[in-house]
Amino acid sequence: MFELSHLRCFVAVAEELHFGRAAVRLNLSQPPLSRQVQLLEHALGVRLLERTSRVVRLTRAGETFLPEARRLLRLAEGAALAARRTASGEAGSVTLGFTAASGYDFLPRFIQTFRAQAPGVDLVLKEMVSADQFESLAAGRIEIGLVRPWFNRREFSSQLVAREPLLLAAPEGHPLAQAAEVALADLDQQPMVTYSPYEARYFYDLVAALCASAGATPHYVQHVSQIHSILGLVKAGLGVALVPRAAGNLRFDGVLLRPIALDARSGEAPNLVELHAVWQPTNTNPALATLRGLLPRVG
């Protein structure tokens, strides 16, 4: 069988129709070039060039072979480039898990940044709750997850990627929605829609801790998993709720969002709501490294 180096020799001669000039082009001398082309012809069992001591011309078989030879050389370079780009993380594919809520704000902004910075990487998205993401990571179904606390999975690496405050969600016309901001104490004895302690434990605990910190005891009228469901119940007048600021991107008619007032010392609502990226430390996918490098850009 022939080699790519034979093809380079043949292509140079076929294009120059002169062994001397082709040899110069290939940085070798004319005798080895003559021999290399002869080796190619022998390997193929076909005469590719007709030559006298003065004239070099392609045979019909040579005419057939020349475009194929050029194509092989081009494809070889392309294959090398593709391998290099994959190795460097410029090209490849990553499977990313995300929670519904992270899809409201962080994820869209991250995807935008990621596509701009790494257009050659294919991002495969899978929505699932945090617990399922850990299972999928362990099973290799996803390579990185966007999850809520709390987790204590030592076998995964993690990185905090975003924090945001909780806001009050109240129906239009609700007394608490009239003010520009709301004191936590005002939530005492208020009907409130809160999170499921099972399917949304992180948010359940967060809300409970926040209210307890102010000595407020809301009247929890419903426990729900999804934020968009919570907003629906708020609109229906069942009560108020505390939701992450990103929920504002849902633009729910009939529901107003108000910051929580703080004591005079701190000045701004604490960013209590955390979002973490998690992955297997042994993952060697270069595109994952590329992705992880871009996470801090969107915080």
Partner DNA sequence: TCGATCGATGCCATTTTTGGATTGATGTTC
Partner DNA sequence: GAACATCAATCCAAAAATGGCATCGATCGA
Please name the residues in contact with 54: beta carbons below 8 A apart, sequence gap of 6 or more.
Answer: none
Shortest CA distance to 206 belongs to which of 143, 273, 268? Answer: 273
Closer Cβ to a copy of itself, 83 or 160, answer by number: 83
Closer Cβ to DNA, 3 or 63, answer by number: 3
Position 38 contacts a copy of itself (CB under 8 A): no
50 binds, among a copy of itself, DNA, none (CB under 5 to 8 A by kind): a copy of itself
Q: Interface with a copy of itself by CB under 8 A: which range of 11-19, 85-93, 127-135, 152-160?
A: 85-93
**Contact residue for DNA among 8, 51, 70, 235 (CB under 7 A):** 51
Q: Identify the bridge partners of residue 183 per DSSP, sorted by sequence position.
A: 261
Position 19 contacts DNA (CB under 7 A): yes
Closer Cβ to DNA, 32 or 270, answer by number: 32
82 binds, among a copy of itself, DNA, none (CB under 5 to 8 A by kind): a copy of itself
Position 122 contacts a copy of itself (CB under 8 A): no
Q: To the nearest whole angstrom, how small is the minimum distance from the Cβ of residue 3 to a copy of itself?
A: 4
Q: Identify the bridge partners of residue 258 per DSSP, sorted by sequence position.
A: 168
**Contact residue for a copy of itself among 35, 42, 71, 153 (CB under 8 A):** 71
**Contact residue for DNA among 36, 130, 133, 222 (CB under 7 A):** 36
Q: To the nearest whole angstrom, how small is the minimum distance from the Cβ of residue 6 to DNA?
A: 8
Q: How far is residue 138's CA from residue 115's CA, in Å, rounded to a whole number?
A: 26
59 binds, among a copy of itself, DNA, none (CB under 5 to 8 A by kind): a copy of itself
29 binds, among a copy of itself, DNA, none (CB under 5 to 8 A by kind): DNA
Closer Cβ to a copy of itself, 76 or 160, answer by number: 76
- The 53-82 site mask, x for binding DNA (CB under 7 A), equals xxxx--------------------------
Q: 3-state secondary structure string, the chain?
A: CCCHHHHHHHHHHHHHCCHHHHHHHCCCCHHHHHHHHHHHHHHHCCCCEEECCCCEEECHHHHHHHHHHHHHHHHHHHHHHHHHHHHHCCCEEEEEEECCHHHCCHHHHHHHHHHHHCCCEEEEEEECCHHHHHHHHHHCCCCEEEECCCCCCCCCEEEEEEEECEEEEEECCCHHHCCCCEEHHHHCCCEEEEECCCCCHHHHHHHHHHHHHCCCCCEEEEEECCHHHHHHHHHCCCCEEEEEHHHHHHCCCCEEEEEEECCCCCCCCCCCEEEEEEECCCCCCHHHHHHHHHHHHCC
Position 38 contacts DNA (CB under 7 A): yes
Please name the residues in contact with 284: beta carbons below 8 A apart, sequence gap of 6 or more.
Answer: none
**Contact residue for a copy of itself among 32, 75, 212, 293 (CB under 8 A):** 75
- Site size with DNA, rule: CB under 7 A: 23
Residues binding a copy of itself (CB under 8 A):
1-5, 43-48, 50, 59-65, 68-69, 71-72, 75-76, 78-80, 82-87, 91-92, 284-287
Residues that bind DNA (CB under 7 A): 3, 5, 18-20, 27-32, 34-39, 51-56
